[in-house]
Amino acid sequence: MQIPQHTCFLGQRVLLVAPRPNQRQPSHARVAVQAVAAPPKLDTSTSERIFEEAKTLLPGGVNSPVRAFNSVGGQPIVFDHVKGAYVWDVDNNKFIDYVGTWGPAIAGHANDEVNKALSAQLEKGTSFGAPCELENDLAKLVIDRVPSVEMVRFVNSGTEACLSVLRLMRAYTGREKVLKFSGCYHGHGDSFLVSAGSGVATLGLPDSPGVLKSSSEATLTATYNDLDDVRKKFAEHKGEIAGVILEPVVGNSGYIEPQPGFLEGLREITREEDTLLCFDEVMTGFRLAKGGAQDHFGVTPDLTTMGKIIGGGLPVGAYGGRADIMKTVAPAGPMYQAGTLSGNPLAMTAGIVTLQILERQGTYEYLDKITGRLVNGIIDAAHKAGHACCGGHIGGMFGFFFTEGPVTCFEDAKKADPKKFARWHRGMLERGIYLAPSMYEAGFMSLAHTTDDIDETIAAAADVLRDL
């Protein structure tokens, strides 16, 4: 079903606004609706009221751009509460959720065990600004699981982890340039807003204004899955590259897997060039496997950034790696990096309990099984309905594109049909399925999702895809 949309202007950006459910639809849309099984009416009037006010208070009505639904049209759903695999909005609509607060909710939203530990910690205090043993406990869990990490520093977000690791790579090597890949997202630090994925790709923004020319000049960009391109960049900037940073499985220009040999090739080239290799596992860490993508693929980088799951729903990021490199960080070494709330006991507690839950027998097998069932179910339904569609999953991370494929880099991802994605997204929302509001974002499964949830989602998908 084509969602009728009208445009209005807010500053210079065009917002696509879906009509209210009770609004009269144009006659061509009515005809289309009659031809298909009409989805249940979705009343979002309270969401709309709150979001209208938010737009007068917060830039674009949000505190992080992709939440605004700009690329799929319509207004965002305003959440009221979450539990397990589900979210409820302020109009009391219930959705099966595949965003999981963009990854952290892998143990299920508002997990009872995490909540219980948090309540107990609240009584003891939320921030000390002094050492506490919980920092050791989480550090030990991370070092035990993630192959590259011998020492770790906790920060408050993935962005902060990536900014800090870049400074570390420069400090350790004495070189200034960094090589990233087009479509990969490493947070909103100046140096990384060059060919960035996530919201930057979703909004189709050029590289951001406000970034110093000198920062973007020090950032080199190569094509994902293209080792020849990487070798070319190293030849052009011989002895100048401090490090290579990448998402070992891309989730920020849609879901893109590394081709066989790509990660191994990067490991080999960075060794030859005496350059550091950093896996940005903010998304993949503790999600693809116990030790992240490096554990799954058996390729060990020098440094790793983490976030999302490591905070179990509270703001935490981390960077870690070889001890000799990490000892460059103050106060062990000269590279300065600090944080008032870093390592606070509340966030450490949520991270510890979440990693302990993930440690249990069969968790990753279960995530892999139900995620595979979902993504294969959706792709089959798409093919049956005559749509080009390709995708995949590892552990609890998945994605698919409305294009023939294969998708091996950002350029390929851009061939997918954004209008079809917008209609798909709206159709699923109307059937009670909450998906990331952008075709450039991966999907996330949690341990709380049941086979029934998956089958309900596939049935909704089949319904939507038939009429897309």
In the complex, which residues of this chain contact ligand PLP (CB under 6 A)? 157-159, 162, 185-187, 247, 251-252, 280, 282-283, 307, 317
Joined together, the tokens standing for residue 108 give 């299920």
* Smallest gap from residue 28 Cβ to ligand PLP (A): 40
**CB-wise, 74 or 313, nearer to ligand PLP?**
313
CB of 250 to ligand PLP, least distance (A): 8
> Given the complex with ligand PLP, which of 77 and 282 has the nearer CB atom?
282
Q: Is residue 394 helix, strand or coil?
A: strand
Q: Is the Cβ of residue 108 or residue 199 nearer to ligand PLP in the bound state?
A: 199
Contact in structure between 304 and 321 (CB atoms under 8 Å): yes
- Least distance CB 226 / ligand PLP (angstroms): 19
Could you tell me which of 349, 353, 430, 357 has the C-alpha nearest to residue 396?
Answer: 357
CB of 307 to ligand PLP, least distance (A): 5
Q: Select which of 185, 364, 434, 440 is catalytic.
A: 185
| Catalytic-labelled residue, pool 290, 308, 414, 420 | 308
Tokens of 330: 């103050």
Task: Answer for the pair 232, 166: CB distance below 8 angstroms, yes or no.
Answer: no
Distance CA 305, CA 282 (A): 6
State which residue, 215 or 376, has the beta carbon closest to ligand PLP: 215
C-beta nearest to ligand PLP: residue = 158
User: Which amino acid is residue 456, in one-letter code?
Assistant: E
Q: Is 172 a catalytic residue?
A: no
Structure tokens at 81: 């509460």
Task: Tell me whether residue 280 is one of the annotated catalytic residues.
Answer: yes
How far apart are CB 103 and ligand PLP at their closest, in Å? 7
Catalytic residue among 89, 91, 97, 280: 280
CA 309, 265, 282: angle at the middle one, nearest 5?
Answer: 10
Q: Is the dihedral of CA 467, 453, 51, 14 positive or negative?
A: negative
- The DSSP result for 59-118, as a single string, is GGGSSSGGGG-TTT-SPPPPEEEEEBTEEEETT--EEEESSGGGTT-TT-BT-HHHHHHH
- The smaller minimum CB distance to ligand PLP, of residues 107 and 163, is found at 163
Catalytic residue positions, numbered: 185, 280, 308
